[in-house]
Structure 1
Amino acid sequence: MYIIAGLGNPGREYEKTRHNAGFEVIDRLAAKLEVSSWEKKHKALAGKAMYAGEKLLLLKPQTYMNLSGESLLSAAAFYRVTPDHILVISDDIDLAEGRLRIRKSGSAGGHNGLKSIISNLGSGDFIRVRVGVGSKPAGFDLADYVLGRAKGEDAEKMEQAYRDAAEAVLSILEEGVDRTMNKVNRKEQG
């Protein structure tokens, strides 16, 4: 079984913001997997699916970003899922808008949601799909930037990135993380 968590903040005021890139990818993935019912479980909205012979639990933590780890810890403990079977999708200000990067493990890189997950799981050995939202423009407050919404051409780039990230998740499940990482990360460098 895999737990696939998209990070974001609950509530209408945060919908479609850069910081909710993880929620957006989970929505695209749920549509592809035909997940039609969501339960409030493990401090999250949770949907179940099957893909490539694997049971999947899709999560959108409802704890706010800084406490995302509480939701993942609850689900991982309940289903007895180890960190190597947890996949987390988050926004990344260090990647250009629309770019993707996949990692098998690592640090939080300054991302409070990832920090919370590492702290709660006691491990950074989970798969990450990072969706680039671009760096904040000069003079902008970081919080204002990530809680803002992309517009025009940037919004189109982000929509494509959400769809590409959902495809990357399916590729990880089908082909494995190493092959997908090589394919996606190499494409992103070119």
Structure 2
Amino acid sequence: MTTDTPWLIAGLGNPGPWFRLTRHNAGFLTVDRLAERHGARFRRRGIGVQVSEIEVDGRRVLLAKPQWFINLSGRPVAALLRRHGVPAAQLVVVQDDLDFAFGAGRLKRGGGPGGHNGVRSVGEVLGTRDFVRLRFGIGRPPKGQSVGDFVLKRFSDEEQAALPGVLDRCADALETLVRLGLNRAQDALNVRTDARLPSGRESPVS
């Protein structure tokens, strides 16, 4: 039997097949991996969002992919919270993050958007930053490339080869969050792993 109040895990990204493996769609890729683990499929709900539903240790978890462009993510996320009676404290937003190297990530509650327009949109529409964020590291653009071009480019071949392992670690952390709470999930995500960055440096998931 599931508990009454679900979690909502919203991955941020841009809709459409062209954007699928771009860095800005790390949020979509993470919730896709979580749905895949549980044999769930995404279905369109109205015009603004795709939703899937899974169960983690008896807890109902909604997975969402807003289908507006990433800087307009707040309205469909807020609509889902209202529709399902989910408090902001049980919202998780999965975003790409330039401040962490590829292969690294961090879970935290609250804080500013750090230049991420999708996170800013969610906070502004909800009127609160009291939600959890999973910050999926994508690294910084190489010299001479703009941030806008970088985030809308596909992951490199080396990154794509490592991507399944990174997505699995993020999915593990999200399941731990639902089961055991934020502190335990942060500990799990921060554990040093044997994964390697494309440069050959050991990757701390921190």
Report the TM-score when normalising by structure 1: 0.94
Shift of 1:37: 4.9
Which residue identity lines up with residue 119 of structure 1 in the other structure? E
Specify whether residues 189 and 171 from structure 1 end up closer, same or farther in structure 2 by C-alpha distance, changes over 3 A only.
Answer: closer
Which of 83, 96, 108 is the equivalent residue of 1:103? Answer: 108
Q: What corresponds to 1:39 in structure 2?
A: 44
- Spell out the pairing of 1:127-146 with structure 2 (5 A cutoff): 127-146=132-151
**SS of corresponding position for 1:159:** helix
Shift of 1:75: 0.4
- For the residues of structure 2 that align with 1:102 and 1:6, how far apart are their CA atoms? 14
- For the residues of structure 1 that align with 2:30 and 2:16, how far apart are their CA atoms? 17
Root mean square deviation of aligned Cα: 1.5
Specify whether residues 148 and 189 from structure 1 end up closer, same or farther in structure 2 by C-alpha distance, changes over 3 A only.
Answer: closer
Pairing 1:58–2:63 present: yes
Pairing 1:121–2:126 present: yes
Q: What corresponds to 1:175 in structure 2?
A: 180
Specify whether residues 85 and 98 from structure 1 end up closer, same or farther in structure 2 by C-alpha distance, changes over 3 A only.
Answer: same
Which residue identity lines up with residue 135 of structure 1 in the other structure? R
Shift of 1:39: 2.9
Pairing 1:150–2:150 present: no
2:103 and 2:205 in contact (8 A); partners too: no
2:169 and 2:189 in contact (8 A); partners too: no
Deviations, residues 55-78 of structure 1 (Å, cap 9, x unaligned): 111100001100001111100111
Shift of 1:151: 2.0
- For the residues of structure 1 that align with 2:47 and 2:79, how far apart are their CA atoms? 5
Deviations, residues 43-63 of structure 1 (Å, cap 9, x unaligned): 100111221211111100001
Which has more helix, going by share of residues? 1
Specify whether residues 5 and 37 from structure 1 end up closer, same or farther in structure 2 by C-alpha distance, changes over 3 A only.
Answer: closer
Q: Unaligned stretches of 5+ in structure 1?
A: none
Which of 66, 71, 83 is the equivalent residue of 2:88? Answer: 83
Report the TM-score when normalising by structure 2: 0.87
Which residue identity lines up with residue 165 of structure 1 in the other structure? C
Which residue identity lines up with residue 116 of structure 2 in the other structure? H
Which residue identity lines up with residue 122 of structure 2 in the other structure? I
Pairing 1:13–2:32 present: no
Give the total of aligned pairs. 190
Q: What corresponds to 2:34 in structure 1?
A: 29
- For the residues of structure 2 that align with 1:93 and 1:50, how far apart are their CA atoms? 31
Deviations, residues 161-185 of structure 1 (Å, cap 9, x unaligned): 1121111111111121111112323
- For the residues of structure 1 that align with 2:37 and 2:188, how far apart are their CA atoms? 21
The range that moved more, 118-127 or 176-185, is 176-185
**SS of corresponding position for 1:164:** helix
Which residue identity lines up with residue 139 of structure 1 in the other structure? G
- For the residues of structure 1 that align with 2:157 and 2:47, how far apart are their CA atoms? 36
- Of structures 1 and 2, the larger Rg is shown by 2
Q: What corresponds to 2:171 in structure 1?
A: 166
